[in-house]
């Protein structure tokens, strides 16, 4: 398990906000942790996979998509805040995320 420090958390938050602002052509200041990706931004699940791929490369994660899918079935990531929480858990736990208490 990796410990996520404040700097890493700030970086995850910034990358997530910047990604959705760019992909959805919206000012980053209009986004919040409560922004719903599908209903408010007209995003889709492929955007989430694309963003998570960015984090997989950045942090050297080897999380399998199947494992990620199993976790998302238990606890969906519908808002920007939930995506940040998911990403933080991925960095901390990798493939063991499936065993993390929800």
Q: What is the pLDDT of residues 70-84, one digit of tens each?
A: 777 778 889 999 999
Query: What's this model's pTM, rounded to 2 decimal places?
Result: 0.88
Domains of the chain: 6-97 (1.10.1200.10)
- Please, which residues bridge with residue 36 across strands? 79
Residue 90, SS3? helix
pLDDT digits (tens, 9 = 90+) for 6-44: 999 999 999 999 999 999 999 999 999 999 999 999 988
Task: Dump pLDDT digits (tens) for 55-72.
Answer: 888 988 877 777 777 777
Judge contact between 67 and 95, C-beta under 8 A: yes
Residue 101: its pLDDT value, please?
A: 57
Residue 29 buriedness (CB in 10 A; 0-12 / 13-18 / 19+): exposed
């Amino acid at each position: 398990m990796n410990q996520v420090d404040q700097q890493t958390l700030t970086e995850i938050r910034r990358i997530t906000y910047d990604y959705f602002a760019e992909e959805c052509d919206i000012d980053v200041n209009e986004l919040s942790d409560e922004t719903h990706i599908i209903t408010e931004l007209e995003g889709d699940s492929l955007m989430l996979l694309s963003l998570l791929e960015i984090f997989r490369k950045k942090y050297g994660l080897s999380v399998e998509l199947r494992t990620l899918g199993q976790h998302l079935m238990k606890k969906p990531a519908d808002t920007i805040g939930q995506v940040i929480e998911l990403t933080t858990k991925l960095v901390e736990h990798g493939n063991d995320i499936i065993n993390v208490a929800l």
